[in-house]
């Protein structure tokens, strides 16, 4: 049982961390660990989540946003990340499927018309950069609207990042993933170098704590939040790992919602007033009530599913559902209601 004085001390320390973060001083690793170290079902974790929600409503002025991602290609990938259904060793994806430019432009147009704030062109690791730039330029030319055009693709050097910028891309999603170098064959330094090139080119960088599994420690989570800060990410948050049947992680345990919500809340507190948008995947009302204001909708090739390509929104979570969930959680959003086709 927690004593009243102990609760007050906790609340005071939490307020101190939030106040300093909002004043521009990112929480130290030890402070992040303090917040993450609370009993997930206890009162203190609930307090952290409620405080993060209040901060989210203040920083976003109550505005929820939708991130749309279009998986451009489904094909076996020789990098064989343990959590990805495209790993060629797992044998889940045997045939290539690549979305046509027309399909991509049409889907992007529907997403933007429906109120999505980001259009992300997501590829496997070795998708042609020239092709991606040409496609981005075409989306930019043919899809009018106020939206961020993002790519989520392979490693980039300075020249590749500049090429994307010149094609009309405004930002890149990239992350130093949990377990990088052990669950993946990537050298963490290479992933970080890509993130630096993105920022140096003048592109926005988006990154999250991902893919979160139950074996990841609070120390690893804290370190990823510090990476997001060091890289001056424009969006952060957390994505739970889906353990796809047929991959090495198939059938293993997934993280629970309470952990996802606490990491969401701590992401929000770390963001202070520097970063407006915090995303939680999967999108849940509890996560939106714990500091997230952004949800994702996905279509096309999905690395977190044994089904290789979707013609409609993955998990039946499209713009209509995203808008409804954001509103349920108390956010206003630009996404309309019924009749949206993405």
Shortest distance in whole angstroms from residue 240 CB to ligand SF4:
15
Shortest distance in whole angstroms from residue 118 CB to ligand SF4:
19
By CB under 6 A, name the one of 21, 63, 120, 124 that touches ligand SF4: 124
Cβ closest to ligand SF4, residue 163 vs residue 183 = 183
Residue 127 in the binding site for ligand SF4 (CB under 6 A)? no
Shortest distance in whole angstroms from residue 88 CB to ligand SF4:
8
Beta bridge partners of 66: 295
Residue 84 in the binding site for ligand SF4 (CB under 6 A)? yes
Residue 132 in the binding site for ligand SF4 (CB under 6 A)? no
Shortest distance in whole angstroms from residue 77 CB to ligand SF4:
3
How big is the site for ligand SF4, counted in residues (CB under 6 A)? Answer: 10
Residue 80 in the binding site for ligand SF4 (CB under 6 A)? yes
Residue 125 in the binding site for ligand SF4 (CB under 6 A)? yes
By CB under 6 A, name the one of 17, 55, 59, 86 that touches ligand SF4: 86
Torsion of CA 294, 297, 303, 305, to 10 degrees: 120
Dump the DSSP string for 136-175. Answer: HHHHHHH--SS-EEEEE-S---HHHHHHHHHTT--EEE--
Cβ closest to ligand SF4, residue 87 vs residue 272 = 87
* Whether the Cβ atoms of residue 252 and residue 294 lie closer than 8 Å to each other: no
Instruction: Determine the Cα angle at 141 with ends 137 and 142, to 5°.
Output: 120
Instruction: Determine the Cα angle at 173 with ends 339 and 112, to 5°.
Output: 25
Residue 250 in the binding site for ligand SF4 (CB under 6 A)? no
* Whether the Cβ atoms of residue 299 and residue 70 lie closer than 8 Å to each other: yes
Residue 246 in the binding site for ligand SF4 (CB under 6 A)? no
Shortest distance in whole angstroms from residue 185 CB to ligand SF4:
8
Q: How far apart are CA 163 and CA 79, in angstroms?
A: 24
Q: How far apart are CA 280 and CA 292, in angstroms?
A: 6
Shortest distance in whole angstroms from residue 264 CB to ligand SF4:
22
Cβ closest to ligand SF4, residue 46 vs residue 124 = 124
By CB under 6 A, name the one of 87, 213, 291, 300 that touches ligand SF4: 87
Cβ closest to ligand SF4, residue 85 vs residue 294 = 85
* Whether the Cβ atoms of residue 108 and residue 71 lie closer than 8 Å to each other: no
186: Cβ–Cβ under 8 A, 6 or more apart, which residues? 79, 180
SS (H, E, C) 165-208: HHCCCCEEECCCCCCCCCCCCCCHHHHHHHHHHHHHCCCEEECC
* Cα dist from 13 to 7, 101, 246, 261, whole Å: 10, 52, 45, 20
Beta bridge partners of 237: 279
Question: Residues 142 to 201: which contact ligand SF4 by CB under 6 A?
Answer: none
Binding region for ligand SF4 (CB under 6 A) out of 11-19, 77-85, 204-212, 316-324? 77-85
Shortest distance in whole angstroms from residue 15 CB to ligand SF4:
39
Question: Residues 268 to 307: which contact ligand SF4 by CB under 6 A?
Answer: 303
Beta bridge partners of 209: 238
Applying CB under 6 A, the residues found at the interface with ligand SF4 are: 77, 79-81, 84, 86-87, 124-125, 303
């Amino acid at each position: 049982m927690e004593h009243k004085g102990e609760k007050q001390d906790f609340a005071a320390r939490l307020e101190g961390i939030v106040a300093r973060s909002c004043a521009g001083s990112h929480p130290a690793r030890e402070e992040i660990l303090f917040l993450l170290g609370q009993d997930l079902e206890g009162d203190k974790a609930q307090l952290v989540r409620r405080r993060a929600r209040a901060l989210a409503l203040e920083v976003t002025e109550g505005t929820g946003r939708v991130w749309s991602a279009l998986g451009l290609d489904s094909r076996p990938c020789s990098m064989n990340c343990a959590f990805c259904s495209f790993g060629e060793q797992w044998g889940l994806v045997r045939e290539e499927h690549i979305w046509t430019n027309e399909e991509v432009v049409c889907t992007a147009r529907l997403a933007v018309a429906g109120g999505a704030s980001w259009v992300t062109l997501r590829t496997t690791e070795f998708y042609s950069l020239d092709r991606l730039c040409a496609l981005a330029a075409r989306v930019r030319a043919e899809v009018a609207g106020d939206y961020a055009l993002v790519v989520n693709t392979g490693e980039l050097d300075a020249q590749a990042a500049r090429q994307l910028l010149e094609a009309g891309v405004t930002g890149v999603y990239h992350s130093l993933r949990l377990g990088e170098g052990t669950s993946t064959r990537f050298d963490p330094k290479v992933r970080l170098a890509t993130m630096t090139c993105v920022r140096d080119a003048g592109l926005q960088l988006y990154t999250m704590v991902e893919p979160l599994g139950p074996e990841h420690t609070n120390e690893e989570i804290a370190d990823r939040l510090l990476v997001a800060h060091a890289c001056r990410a424009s969006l952060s948050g957390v994505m739970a790992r889906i353990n796809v049947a047929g991959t090495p992680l198939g059938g293993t345990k997934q993280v629970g919602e309470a952990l996802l919500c606490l990491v969401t809340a701590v992401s929000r507190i770390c963001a202070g007033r520097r970063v407006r948008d915090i995303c939680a995947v999967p999108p849940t009302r509890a996560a939106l009530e714990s500091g997230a204001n952004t949800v994702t909708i996905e279509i096309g090739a999905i690395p977190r599913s044994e089904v290789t390509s979707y013609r409609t929104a993955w998990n039946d979570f499209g713009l209509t559902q995203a808008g409804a969930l954001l509103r349920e959680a108390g956010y206003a959003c630009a996404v309309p209601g019924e009749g949206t086709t993405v």
